[in-house]
A and B are shown apart, each in its own frame.
Chain A
Amino acid sequence: MKSINLTFETGHIYGLLGRNGAGKSTLLNLINNRMFVSDGTIALDGHPIKNNEQALNQLFMTSEDTLYPGDMRVKKMWRTTQDFYGTFDWSFAKRLARNFNLDPNFKLKKLSTGNRSIAKLITALGAPTKFIFLDEPTLGMDATNRDIFYQALLEKFGSGDQSLILSTHLIQEVEKMIDHIFVIDHGQLIEDQSVEAVQSHAFAISGSETLIKEHIASSKIMSVEPFGKQYKVYVRNYNLADLPDSLHAESLDLQAYFVKLTNRGTF
């Protein structure tokens, strides 16, 4: 992980994207003080979070690791969260548990892998912190449960004074929910833009090789696909108004954009 500089603000649903092993979890662990930076600073409102209880109380993170003992009951986990962070949204958590069909009286070790993820998710969504970080929250969850989860997070975030940072590989499922993306690749931040800006400037442009080389700046090209005499290039930060009539542009969905961005072809 090197020279990464990024800022989270309240009132957003952020997507933290990256291929396997790109460094997403490392970044989240660093931000949440679970790992320590060798160089650089993590700060909340300008105050470094290291040994800063007040700042750390505004961050909540859930990952694959379970930090709670297996003998603990789900509702005790919620109680512990309340004790630690001051408050907890009990009515939201109970309603979610009902929607997920999860009994809060169960001990964590008695739950299936999927239900244990759900229990931890509910804990995170009920926490009062300004920033909630979810590392691969839908791992092992079925489609119906993911749907319930997405509804819950849309109810809770996206406006107001909390923010959610979601790391996920299921880009198509979240592309309309997240409003800003960060893409991590080989330990570096290679994208930091609003989804709206990404969407309106990413295209697949096709035409003859000569025309493409003449009109499309190579700095904007993410990937190239030769196709007979036709060329197709995937571009980012491209202004559609600059497109000559002789070339054809198609919009990309976020997943296609991500794949082209992180799997560069050669020109």
Chain B
Amino acid sequence: MQFNFDSGVPLFQQVNDQIEEGILDGTFPELTQIPSTTEISQAFKINPATVLKGVNLLVANGLVEKRRGIGVFVKQGAQEQVRTARKAKFLEEAVTQIVQQAQELNISKTQLIKLIESRYQA
């Protein structure tokens, strides 16, 4: 995990995003416990209230759940949920951006598709 103050993304959002990333890549498997607020706070020198805000966002999105007195656990189906959300975001943002930039640079649709295909073959 890495947190950048000047990335333009609020820190609590970065906490949410990084844990989401961990759920997606299997660092935090489903039904297992994620590090506590105190652990995250101390390891990355982040204000505990900020960490809590990020974790609460994950709770609100149904990716993790708090078990009283024990800790926070990744919910079943969370990995698929993150993947679906990221897929939608990728299609919406990344693809739109690529097409837009290609148009600005006068790269034709055929050329762009060829470029993408060549990356798959490589």
Contact = CB atoms under 8 A, between A and B. Distances in A.
A176 interface: yes
Interface stretch (A67-75, A152-160, A209-217): A152-160
A253 B52 CA distance: 22
A159 B6 contact: no
Contact of A179 (B5, B44, B47): B47
A251 interface: yes
30 contacts: A11-B49, A12-B49, A150-B45, A154-B38, A154-B46, A154-B48, A155-B38, A157-B48, A158-B41, A158-B48, A159-B52, A174-B45, A175-B5, A176-B5, A176-B44, A176-B45, A176-B46, A176-B47, A176-B50, A177-B47, A178-B47, A179-B49, A179-B50, A196-B10, A196-B11, A196-B50, A251-B7, A252-B6, A253-B5, A254-B5
A77 interface: no
A251 B50 contact: no
Given A151-B45, A154-B45, A177-B46, 8 more contacts: A154-B47, A177-B45, A178-B47, A179-B50, A196-B50, A251-B8, A254-B5, A256-B6
B3 A176 contact: yes
B49 A251 contact: no
A13 interface: yes
Contacts of A155: 38, 42
Given A13-B47, A159-B48, A178-B47, A154 B5 contact: no
Contacts of B8: 250-251
Interface of A: 11-13, 150-151, 154-155, 157-159, 173-179, 196, 199-200, 250-254, 256
Interface of B: 3, 5-8, 10-12, 38, 41-42, 44-50, 52
A256 B4 CA distance: 14
Nearest to A173: B45
B115 to A, nearest CB: 26
A93 to B, nearest CB: 18
Contacts of A254: 5
B61 to A, nearest CB: 19
A253 B38 CA distance: 24
Contacts of A13: 47
A79 B50 CA distance: 34
Contacts of A199: 5, 10-11
Nearest to B11: A176
A260 B111 CA distance: 46
A195 to B, nearest CB: 8
A77 B106 CA distance: 74
**Which has the most chain A C-beta neighbours within 10 Å: B10, B45, B46?**
B45
B11 A154 contact: no
A119 to B, nearest CB: 22
Contacts of B50: 176, 179, 196
B47 A158 contact: yes
A196 B12 CA distance: 9
B10 to A, nearest CB: 6
Contact of A151 (B5, B10, B42): B42
Contacts of A154: 38, 41-42, 45-48
Nearest to B40: A154
B15 to A, nearest CB: 10
B84 to A, nearest CB: 28
A158 B38 CA distance: 10
